[in-house]
Chain A
Amino acid sequence: MNSPYLPQEARIIERIEESPGLFTLRLHFTEPKRQEAYHFEPGQFNMLYLYGVGEIPISIVSDPKDEHIIDHTIRAVGRVSQAMSRLKTGQSIGLRGPFGRGWPLQTAEGRDVVVVTGGLGCAPVVSVINYIQHRRERFGKLNIVQGVKHSSDFIWKERYDHWRQMPDTTVLLAADRGDPIWPWHVGRVTDLFDQLDFDPANVSVMLCGPEGMMHVVARQMLERNVNENEIWLSMERNMQCAVGHCGHCQYGAHFICKNGPVFSYAELQPLFGQPGF
């Protein structure tokens, strides 16, 4: 019986330093058949293994259509991610996945889309935006709102510049603390909501980032009469097995790793915002 716990070898094709403490690993399975068979949905994640240190769950940033490269953008914050940040191009790591339920892109077709992210929260939705970009005619108006704590945390400026050029697309950026050359809003993402262009009766809202931020944004969307089944959030919890066995990611009755990580606001009730879960 195949073990759902067993990683497979993947090679680091390229390592990109995005900003201090933030790096991207571009991976490719060593076994060609494994790479060929690998498909993921935007919003899903992989478990990355660093030899002798351990595994961590990391969302997939690359384009689901790219059959050769699997990208992960990682912030060096914990025991494993800090050690992982020292890896170089050409080295190997362990990879298993993809896991979980991603964004509801099929049901979002024909609707306006609002993507609100905070901090590195944009990583799990980059693949959503890429997905929509390649199927632009199937979706309504696209609003992309990204907030960072400090303007220096902002990465992937070219991507945002590129997305701004797409038809029917609004891109809004905010930093809690700006600097003299930060050209966009200084303040919270919610300050920008008057500039959003969407039909509340026909929109899918996708949120990713710190829970406090998602909570505030979700409340504001509800006040604008967006249905609670159409507000989607990517959740994070301690994950060790990624297949609903180890118990760490339980959120009420949900296993975030297998029932999520993407949930509708309605599904997360009544616990969302309640400390300790």
Chain B
Amino acid sequence: MSATSHSPVFLHHNDLQQLLQILQHDGYTCIGPQVRDGVIHYDHIDTVEQLPRGYGQHQQPGHYQLEPAGHDRYFAWANGPQALKPWLFSPREALWQCQAGEDKLAFEQVAAEDDPLAVFGVRACDIAALYLHDKHFLQQTHRDPGYRSRRQNLLLVAVNCSHPAETCFCASTGDGPEVHYGHDLVLSELSEGFIVQAHTEKGLSILARLPAETASQSRIAAAQASSRAAAEQQGRRLPSQDLQAALFANLDHPRWEDIARRCLSCGNCTSVCPTCFCHREFDEPSLDGQTSTHYRQWDSCFNQGHSYIHGITLRAETRLRYRQWLTHKLGSWHQQYGRSGCVGCGRCISWCPVGIDLTAEASLICTGSEA
């Protein structure tokens, strides 16, 4: 895709609905952030009224609290537990069906849904994670048909993060808070509206239909300052270098045991992680016995069955499971996909029930001191 050169435009808050309408008109099913069950959650939206306008949130290790922010911005919050991942890599998905006849079996692929999807409000960390899943599911010898059909029809309206959470560290991994690739349009929110930029031809065609004006230099400068501040605000950091050697040299570090005393092996971290890709496969036969559907569902390396092999569980202890997760996420990913499997979103820290902080643990194990 050619980098589109155009002057950034300014879109008033009141005109955001028009952007949504253009996407709907172009045939996109629109997905956007909204408040549900006390968190910011991504699901179908019909109107911008559904967006979490005026909300902020407070996140700490093991803590997430949505709160009124005292302003009327749409995107002045950091990510909730999920955003883009479930829309591409489905939490549960039928892969194929088998019909049973008299000593006969007939297999049929289950077609993946391929409605064009437009996702509103995607952050830089989640786009980085999307690119990692592209490598995993699409750029290897075998490609995943379901992921592929959803990915092909995806349009992203990204947002530059202006209010990172206390648990965010995307600036240190190099993945945010500003969006640099992967999007069709990107919004930077100011108090009265958005600076909008297109990154693709599709994005440009949408932008051309917006009731927008050329953005003033002062507004562009304000948006840039907001991104800089969002980066500087981040207190946590993860060494950006390849930690593979450091982690694998410390497999017997006493800290693993210390973590295991706190870790519940619940798998929350892997569920909220935008790059975790493990999934298990299972059959669900119909009640009449005529058909069996083969599903896949998210799995976690913290589950007992993940390392099961003919009667043996290789990682029976929590210590070994956490070590598997961290050595993979921050180590083996480099060899597998050319970069760390961590994009700095901080979800695993906020959503860990006991508040285990990956940045602190990695730093302790690799360098001997907390970051």
Type the 1/0 row for A35-73, where 1 means its CB is closer than 8 Å to any CB of B: 000000000000001011111000000000000000000
Inter-chain contact B310/A248, CB cutoff 8 Å:
no
Segment from A17-25, A189-197, A218-226, A239-247 that makes contact with B: A239-247
In contact, A248 and B311 (Cβ under 8 angstroms): no
Residues of B within 8 A of A247 (CB): 277-279, 299, 301
> Do B148 and A1 touch across chains, with their CB atoms under 8 A apart?
yes
Contact of A52 with B100 in the complex, beta carbons under 8 Å = yes
Q: Which of the segments B102-110, B165-173, B181-189, B226-234 contacts the partner chain?
A: B102-110
Query: Contact between A245 and B308 (Cβ–Cβ < 8 Å)?
Result: no
Verify A248–B96 contact, CB threshold 8 A. Answer: no
What residues on A are CB-neighbors of B100 within 8 Å?
A: 51-52
* Contacting pair B283 A246 (CB below 8 A): no
A54 touches B299 (CB 8 A): no
Q: Out of B103, B148, B306, B334, name the residue touching A248 (CB < 8 Å).
A: B306
A2, chain B: closest CB distance, angstroms: 8
Are A9's CB and B104's CB within 8 A?
Answer: yes
CB within 8 Å of A: which of B118-161?
A: 136-137, 140-145, 148-149
Distance in angstroms from B95 CB to nearest chain A CB is: 5
Of the 9-residue stretches A88-96, A148-156, A157-165, A200-208, which lies at the interface with chain B? A88-96
Complex contact B283–A245 (CB within 8 A): no
> Could you tell me the distance in whole angstroms from the C-beta of A130 to the nearest C-beta in chain B?
25
Determine, out of B13-21, B194-202, B320-328, the stretch whose residues face the partner at the interface: B320-328
List CB contacts (< 8 Å) of A227-257 with chain B: 236-238, 240-241, 243-248, 250, 252-253, 255
Q: Is A107 an interface residue (CB 8 A)?
A: no
B residues less than 8 Å from A236 (CB atoms) = 309-310
The interface residues of chain A, by DSSP majority, are classed as loop
Decide yes or no: A93 and B105 within 8 Å by CB, A246-B281, A274-B251 being known contacts. Answer: yes
Cβ of A4 and Cβ of B311 under 8 Å apart? no
Given A6-B96, A78-B310, the answer on whether A246 and B103 have CB atoms closer than 8 Å is no
- Choose among A6, A93, A276 the residue that contacts B320 (Cβ–Cβ < 8 A): A276
The answer to whether B248 and A270 have CB atoms under 8 Å apart is yes
Chain B nearest CB: distance from A29 CB in Å?
12
**Contact: A51 with B98, CB < 8 Å?**
yes
C-alpha spacing A181/B331, complex, angstroms: 53
Q: How far is the CA of A235 from the CA of B285 in the complex (A)?
A: 32
With contact pairs A78-B310, A270-B248 given, residues A52 and B279 touching in the complex (Cβ less than 8 Å): no
Q: Closest B residue to A258 by CB, please name it.
A: B141
| Complex alpha-carbon distance, A82 and B265, angstroms | 30
| Selected contact of A246 from candidates B244, B280, B331, B336, CB within 8 Å | B280
Q: Answer whether residue B264 sits at the interface, using C-beta atoms and an 8 A cutoff.
A: no
Pair B98/A248 contact, Cβ less than 8 Å: no
Alpha-carbon separation in the docked complex, A226 to B185 (Å): 59
Give bound CA distance, A277 to B321, whole Å.
9
Instruction: Flag if B141 contacts A276 (CB, 8 Å).
Output: no
Task: Type the 1/0 row for B240-264, where 1 means its CB is closer than 8 Å to any CB of A.
Answer: 0000100010010000000000000
Q: Is A252's CB under 8 angstroms from B248's CB? A: yes
Chain B residue with minimal CB distance to A53?
B283
Chain A: residues with Cβ within 8 Å of the partner, total of 45
Q: With the chains together, A2 CA to B324 CA distance in Å?
A: 32
Taking the complex as formed, is B162 at the interface, i.e. its CB lies under 8 A from any CB of chain A? Answer: no
In the complex, whether B24 has a CB less than 8 A from a CB of chain A is: no
Complex Cα spacing A53 to B320, Å = 29
Output the residue of A2, A247, A274 with the most chain B CB within 10 A: A247
**Bound complex: CA of A253 vs CA of B317, how far in Å?**
21
Q: With A4-B142, A276-B315 in contact, is A245–B280 under 8 Å at CB?
A: no
B142–A253 touching, CB < 8 Å? no
Closest Cβ of chain B: how far from A237's Cβ, in Å?
6
Q: Is A8 on the interface with B (CB-CB < 8 A)?
A: yes
Closest to B315 in A: A276
A5 vs B320: C-alpha distance when bound (angstroms)? 30
Known interface pairs A1-B148, A3-B95, A6-B96. Does A94 touch B105 (Cβ–Cβ under 8 Å)?
A: yes
Query: How many Å lie between the Cα of A54 and that of B282 in the bound state?
Result: 6
Asked whether B282 lies within 8 Å of A238 as measured between CB atoms, the reply is no
Please tell me if B332 contacts chain A, counting CB pairs below 8 Å: yes
A3 to B317, CA, bound (A): 35
Residues of the B chain whose Cβ atoms lie less than 8 Å from the Cβ of A5: 95-96, 281, 294
List chain B residues, Cβ under 8 A from A6. Answer: 95-96, 107, 109
Q: Given A77-B311, A78-B310, A238-B309 in contact, is the A248-B283 Cβ separation under 8 Å?
A: no
Smallest CB separation, A227 vs chain B (Å): 23
User: A7 within 8 Å of B by Cβ?
Assistant: yes
Q: Cβ of B307: which chain A residues have Cβ within 8 Å of it?
A: 237-238, 248
B142 touching A245 by the CB < 8 A rule? yes
Nearest CB to that of B293 among chain A residues?
Answer: A52
Which listed residue (A54, A78, A250) contacts B328, Cβ 8 A?
A250
Chain A residues in 8 Å Cβ range of B149: 1
B314 within 8 A of A: yes
| Closest chain B residue to A242, Cβ basis | B142
A252 surroundings in chain B (CB, below 8 A): 248, 327, 332, 335
For A52, A54, A55, the residue with the greatest tally of chain B CB atoms inside 10 Å of its CB is A52
User: Complex Cα distance A52/B287, Å?
Assistant: 11
Asked if A180 is at the interface of the complex by the 8 Å CB criterion, the answer is no
Interface residues of B in 79-100 (CB under 8 A from A): 95-96, 98, 100
Q: B314, A277: Cβ atoms under 8 Å? A: yes
Write the nearest CB–CB distance from A120 to chain B, whole angstroms.
10
Q: Which residues of B contact A238 (CB under 8 A)?
A: 305-309
A3 CA to B147 CA in the complex, in Å? 11
Given contacts A240-B280, A276-B323, 9 further A-B contacts (CB under 8 A): A6-B109, A52-B100, A94-B107, A240-B281, A241-B296, A250-B328, A253-B332, A253-B334, A275-B314
8 pairs of residues in contact across A and B, judged by CB atoms under 8 Å: A3-B95, A236-B310, A240-B281, A241-B281, A247-B278, A274-B251, A276-B317, A276-B319
8 pairs of A and B residues whose beta carbons are closest in the complex? A247-B278, A276-B320, A253-B335, A243-B142, A52-B285, A253-B332, A4-B142, A52-B292
